[in-house]
Structure 1
Amino acid sequence: MRKSILIRNICISTMLCCMVLISTNAMARQYSSVEVENQAQAQWHINYASYLIDIGKYFEALEQYDTAIDFSPVAKTKVNAMFGKAMVLSTFLDAPDKAADLYRKVGRQYPDYADTALYRLGFLYYQMNQFDKSREAFKQYAKYFPEGKFKYQAEAVVSAMADKADPAPKPEPKPVPVPTPKPEPKPTPAPKPTPAPEDKTPAKLGDEPTLRVCLSRKVTSVIVTTSSKNDKVCTDDLGCGRKYTVGMSGSKLTLDGKKVSADRIKFTSKAPLKVSYGSEKKTVRGIVDVSIRKGKLLILNLINIEDYLLSVVPAESYASWPADTLKAQAVAARTYAYYQKKHRTHLFYDVYADTYDQMYAGVEREDKRADKAVKATRGQVLLYKKKPILSQYTANSGGYTADAKAIFGAGKAYLVAHKDPASLKGKMATWTRKFKVSDVEAKLKKIGISVPGIKSIKPLETGPSGRITKVRVNYKDGHRDLRTRTTLGSSRVLNLPDILLQIENKNGQYIFKGNGWGHGVGYSQWGSAELGKKKKYDYILKFYYPGSELKQLW
């Protein structure tokens, strides 16, 4: 137990060491005004990446880290972003090998940070149970950094591996030699035996998961009542009643104005519970769990995943859409929630109750048509190599789905670019935005990017789908290369719906004509609405997530 606590503390200390800003030495030299602007941008994107990780936007976080790497003139900030990327890849995107590559890249390109990179590489292999590789990394660490900043942590991990060995691969079964059969005389036909009754016992499935849905963590009071006049709200050992108000007094919870010793209060009722907090009101199934975290109330809804989907599916799709479209949405939403549950075990929640994850509006949003879709696909999840996929979806692909690697900087085999003509028939497929040159300059200036006297905005890099991932802005003093999604086209600047677009300059205006709404990666909701008119839901899912398998897990 003591050793496991030590290892956990090593991991935490390593993370803290790596989340650093510009060093004093790096700031010693004189920076140009453009470099100062770029450094400020880089730090903003690193901070925003941390926020995106918190709300489950892992791919988008990678995109922010890459933007920071592009902007920063400071080695330490670039390394900070690379370490952040590696953490997201290994912890949330099931890509530890890509994280290992990043640590090696830091070691090669930034010798001043090779100490930290090599330690993190060894620890990563330890977490992956690749103990031989971990020992080799720590052997190199001891050789090149005998007095390194992680000397004692490295020794502790090596000690923890003293009696560990890499899992032995399962031996391949030897082929059984089959003798050449001798010809035999044809036997007299025997009466056919009565066939044994078919075994219809279903395969053993897992239990339906319970989700921790975060309703809020920003308020200091919440009111809980029952939705039925005939039922009461019960609070574990604190009794039952019609209505309860939970508040805070310092670090203690209060129930109807009185301090309680409990660290958390769980509310249950036979009928759905009504929850009021801040300006929000929801009626939810399951349990409402209230505790204190970071000076605010943390309000969770503990609910079975299938009950959760009853609200999510009609909130993410129109209940009037075809039945197979609703079924496809149910599977995609179930898979997304299950993926997050598997990857947020160290956090206090599995999903947020809004568009940060998936829109969850409670019982009021439920619809009988969506209910049927959820029940018809109960327990069905999309897997890739026996693991749940991160089922990204977008409003409309604009006729061509995007490649995750081109958009976010890291790909998945089931998130690739391909034609999607059905989406062009749906809403939000095309759009036009117009901006005066002075407006573009002003909007960029507002976020700290100075480009006075813009002469042109031209595509610099495009992805397989034709999306413009980078642009070059030529202005009177030079040029700036900007990522389209995270900078020029972001909600902070031009708020472009997608980056599958063309850029024109007419009469002092920049005209952006585009297709699609969202990032374009994965499942297109309006495309699915069209496909569902003629295709079954399993076809829709395999079309948008090629290579994935539909499996019954509970």
Structure 2
Amino acid sequence: MVQGMIRISMLLALLCSLLVSNVSAREYSPIEIEDQAQAQWHINYASYLIDIGKYFEALEQYDTAIDYSPVAKTRVNAMFGKAMVLSTFLDDPEKAADLYKMVGRQYPDYAETALYRLGFLYNQMGDYERSKSVFRQYLHYFPKGKFRFQAEAVITSMIGKQPEQKPEVKPDTRPETKPTEKPKIPDTVAKEPDLRVCLSRSVTSMTVATGGKSDKVCTDDLGCGRKYTVSLKGDSLVMDGKVVTAKRIKFTSTAPLKVTYGSESKRVRGIVEVSIRKGKLLILNLINIEDYLRSVVPAESYASWPAETLKAQAVAARTYAYYQKMHRTHLFYDVYADTYDQMYAGVDREDKRTDEVVKQTRGEVLTYKDKPILSQYTANSGGHTADAKAIFGTGKDYLVAHKDPASLKGKMATWTRKFKVSEIESKLKAIGISVPGIKSIESIEKGPSGRIVKVRINYRGGHRDMRTRTTLGSSRVLSLPDILLRIDRSGDSYVFKGNGWGHGVGYSQWGSAELGKTKKYDQILKFYYPGSAVEQLW
């Protein structure tokens, strides 16, 4: 089924590229048509990754599209996509602004849109002076532009707005007093947040039941009972065979609720909410973040690992969930209940050992410059963490490459994959890349960790350069565990010998399992996220 979907998307992308070539001033070669189809596929896949919270990986897909596409419009669309991710999800509007400026310089046909987006970005940032300046430039260069009315309206709305002024700091003339000890949890601490955990959005029926014989499931206005079945009829919810007028139903109980949907079943704490989205049931678990972690930590780590390791995992997982909650306010969920975000299996995955570390680290979140970080983690760094900029095209000061010898002692540290030349050729052909008669596969770009970011495939008709992770090493082709590897030819085969499992950026779970034997959890976290701090936010 997945392969079928890939083929369909490739055919659609190819059709798109052919349409572009028909209106272009020149004809494209067969290889360029293939490259355009690849570029469109990667742009579409980037949208999917954004939806599931893989923001860095989405940037990687956009960069791949820019590398591939011979069509200026497609490259610009990818750059605009990158700018949106940077400003909306990665707290980096200045890099987004740089992309808009780059489009204006390199692609004159799209300078108008880039200039308008730049002005709007500055307005969102609260930088009204730069915003007004840009919009005035827009009206000067494009007096009859398609965004002129919006530009005029924004300028008018900013009249009287002033940049935020910092209060004057006066010298403290009070007599010196002995400072009082700061409490661990100040009175102004925030209430621990609730999360909207998406259990499913692809089924048309589900059941909610109680876990115990004496417990009941209750709804807001529809009464209480032992078990309820919810399905669809057109645009309406159907509960136990009867159409209800409610647009969403919330189920509560004094005990965990058992939710069954499709082939899955979970017992969960908190509230289960059901509504309709795009012709399917949207099933959410509304749960306190600390209760959510009771299931996530043992699902993402082994409960038998050292306590300090489990504490580190708890803080990293809490930080990740809190970051996503802050950046998904416009969506219907905060996190998915699987590896799209973090594994969440409900009450049945909880463990007393991990319950304790969640309790001991309650409210602790990793921050950098007073903002929660996007706490990336990988199964095993392979002995050297990766630099986010080299892997994903943009970086963070707390996601940099450095040696990680502890990870080499853990599982999944090394691996070997062997493929016949004909197999590599056929797998690439299946996704629309023709490289008949491969002569060599060689590294042409490496990151600071030694990971091979780009490879060149020399073949009978020439050569093709491609990003290792998103193309050759992706699940669509060879499914290589990591790109910290060596490539050797052996007869009619290629042998890929590698270290690490995952993208290698940030926290290494197997490395932390080793470090937890001798290090405290805050030391582990500062090792994997240099410059970060552990702060208690609730």
Name the TM tier (shorter chain).
Answer: over 0.9
Aligned-residue offset at 1:375: 0.6
Partner of 1:181: none
Point out the more displaced range, 153-162 or 406-415.
153-162
Is 1:350 the counterpart of 2:308? The answer is no
Partner of 2:6: none
Partner SS for 1:238:
coil
Partner of 1:302: 286
Aligned-residue offset at 1:168: 1.5
Aligned-residue offset at 1:467: 0.2
Partner of 2:274: 290
Partner of 2:186: 203
Contact 2:383 2:413 in 1 (8 A): yes
Per-residue CA deviations over 1:438-485 (Å, capped at 9, x if unaligned) read: 111111101000000111000000000000000000011110001000
Decide whether aligned partners of structure 1 residues 347 and 196 sit closer, same or farther in structure 2, where only a CA change above 3 A counts: closer
Aligned-residue offset at 1:28: 4.6
Decide whether aligned partners of structure 1 residues 383 and 26 sit closer, same or farther in structure 2, where only a CA change above 3 A counts: farther
CA distance in 2, matches of 1:317, 1:196: 41
Partner SS for 2:230:
strand
Decide whether aligned partners of structure 1 residues 393 and 27 sit closer, same or farther in structure 2, where only a CA change above 3 A counts: same
Partner of 2:3: none
Decide whether aligned partners of structure 1 residues 409 and 292 sit closer, same or farther in structure 2, where only a CA change above 3 A counts: same
Aligned-residue offset at 1:29: 2.1
Is 1:389 the counterpart of 2:373? The answer is yes
Partner SS for 2:284:
strand
Aligned-residue offset at 1:165: 1.5
Point out the more displaced range, 75-84 or 504-513.
504-513
- 5+ long unaligned stretches in structure 1: 1-19, 179-194
Contact 1:251 1:295 in 2 (8 A): yes
Partner of 1:445: 429
Partner of 2:507: 523
Is 1:227 the counterpart of 2:211? The answer is yes
Contact 1:23 1:76 in 2 (8 A): no
Aligned-residue offset at 1:169: 3.2
Partner of 1:114: 111
Contact 1:289 1:301 in 2 (8 A): yes
Per-residue CA deviations over 1:310-352 (Å, capped at 9, x if unaligned) read: 0000000011111111100000000000000000000000000
Contact 1:504 1:512 in 2 (8 A): yes
Query: Which amino acid in the other structure matches residue 58 of structure 1?
Result: Y
Contact 2:215 2:253 in 1 (8 A): yes
Contact 2:377 2:508 in 1 (8 A): yes
Per-residue CA deviations over 1:155-200 (Å, capped at 9, x if unaligned) read: 222222123111123435458799xxxxxxxxxxxxxxxx999786
After TM superposition, list the pairs within 5 Å mapping 1:304-319 onto structure 2.
304-319=288-303
Query: Which amino acid in the other structure matches residue 138 of structure 1?
Result: F
CA distance in 2, matches of 1:146, 1:538: 56
Partner of 1:268: 252
Partner SS for 1:454:
coil
Partner of 2:145: 148
After TM superposition, list the pairs within 5 Å mapping 1:65-464 onto structure 2.
65-173=62-170, 202-204=185-187, 205-464=189-448
Decide whether aligned partners of structure 1 residues 201 and 500 sit closer, same or farther in structure 2, where only a CA change above 3 A counts: closer
CA distance in 1, matches of 2:472, 2:138: 42
Identity of aligned residues (%): 75
Is 1:44 the counterpart of 2:19? The answer is no
Point out the more displaced range, 163-172 or 266-275.
163-172
Contact 2:21 2:28 in 1 (8 A): no
CA distance in 1, matches of 2:390, 2:181: 50
CA distance in 1, matches of 2:128, 2:372: 26
Partner of 2:536: 552
Q: CA RMSD in A?
A: 1.8
Contact 2:185 2:536 in 1 (8 A): no
Decide whether aligned partners of structure 1 residues 268 and 529 sit closer, same or farther in structure 2, where only a CA change above 3 A counts: same
Contact 1:227 1:274 in 2 (8 A): yes
Aligned-residue offset at 1:27: 3.5
Contact 1:213 1:300 in 2 (8 A): yes
Is 1:501 the counterpart of 2:485? The answer is yes
Partner SS for 2:110:
helix
Larger radius of gyration: 1
CA distance in 2, matches of 1:445, 1:198: 66
